[in-house]
A and B are shown apart, each in its own frame.
Chain A
Amino acid sequence: MSANVNTSLPLEYQTEQSRMNILGFWIFLGAEIVLFATLFSVYGVLYKNYAGGPTHQDIFMMKEVMIQTVLLLTSSFTMGVAIWEMRRNNKKGLIGWFILTLLLGAGFLFMEINEFIHYVHEGATMQTSAFLSSLFVLLGTHGAHVTFGIFWATMVIIQIVKRGLTPVTARKTFIIGLYWHFLDVVWIFIFTFVYLKGMVL
């Protein structure tokens, strides 16, 4: 821990180390933007290559997709409120909103896995066509990020419970908050350029 602690700032920004970690995480998110851009470009090139298999309209279930979208949007909001509670130094509020965020994330994941199972039952597997390969890779990479985020956040919550709100736990919480909002940003583009676009083709 560095000695110069600036207590006029929020807890997560108080040490030089924390500020560097947060900046570094923003740079990582920049790399994540490019990672998802490559997957979107593969999908954008191959999305009409059905190879005689099912098309968008054959498999997409818009009601379920809307529910997934609302779950993830709400979880991004509750994550924001969790950080807001952290800045009020309200540990209980932070943990409560944080756990709610993860439950919403888990609900999203449950629905996405069901969606994949449904697709496979419809005969739309990853091997069926280039459209479905690129679709499963794009959605799967996003879903894997959500899964990883849930495990990561669980460990951060355990640390907050055990060690309380310190400059270190506050910084870790803030960083997973950034990660979680970022996944919602990616989902906005999946929702728009995969599902809605597929339905208006």
Chain B
Amino acid sequence: MEKSTERFPLAHVFGFVMSLVLTFVAAWVALEMNLSFTIVMWIIGTLAVIQAGLQLFMFMHMTEGEDGKVNIINIAFMVFCAVVIVVGSIWVLTSGHAAH
């Protein structure tokens, strides 16, 4: 975290180009390649997580400031909660459904 003195927002342009590349690669893998559903979901899911990390670290400066560590713990815990909610709900409801 510092007052910027550079004359060109290089990190932001890099982050922007990277997110465009990740978006189009994901679209290409999903729409143009003939891979199985599971493989496509693993690839585009990974790309989405990378892109979200890019936003958090390069655009939102999550780690900066005296509260940087608190931010990371907070977001990591909430992401954990989110995964439990989403994966847990789908797991319980679909496997319960399939068993009957």
Contacts and interface: CB of A to CB of B under 8 A. Distances in A.
B86 A30 contact: no
- State the majority secondary structure of interface residues on A: helix
Interface in A7-50: 9-10, 13, 19, 22-23, 26-27, 29-31, 33-34, 36-38, 40-42, 44-45
B74 A30 contact: yes
A37 B88 CA distance: 11
Given A73-B19, A201-B37, A196 B90 contact: no
A69 B23 contact: yes
Contacts of A31: 78
Contacts of A192: 26, 44-45, 47-48
A22 B37 CA distance: 41
Given A19-B67, A37-B81, A73-B16, A80 B59 contact: yes
Given A84-B9, A192-B44, A199 B56 contact: no
Interface residues of A, number: 52
Contacts of B85: 34, 37-38, 41
Interface of B: 1-5, 9, 12-13, 15-16, 19-20, 23, 26-27, 30-31, 37, 40-41, 44-45, 47-48, 51-52, 55-56, 58-60, 62, 65-67, 70-71, 74-75, 77-79, 81-83, 85-86, 88-90, 93-94
Given A36-B82, A84-B4, A188-B48, 11 more contacts: A26-B70, A30-B78, A62-B31, A76-B55, A77-B12, A80-B12, A80-B58, A81-B12, A88-B5, A188-B51, A191-B48
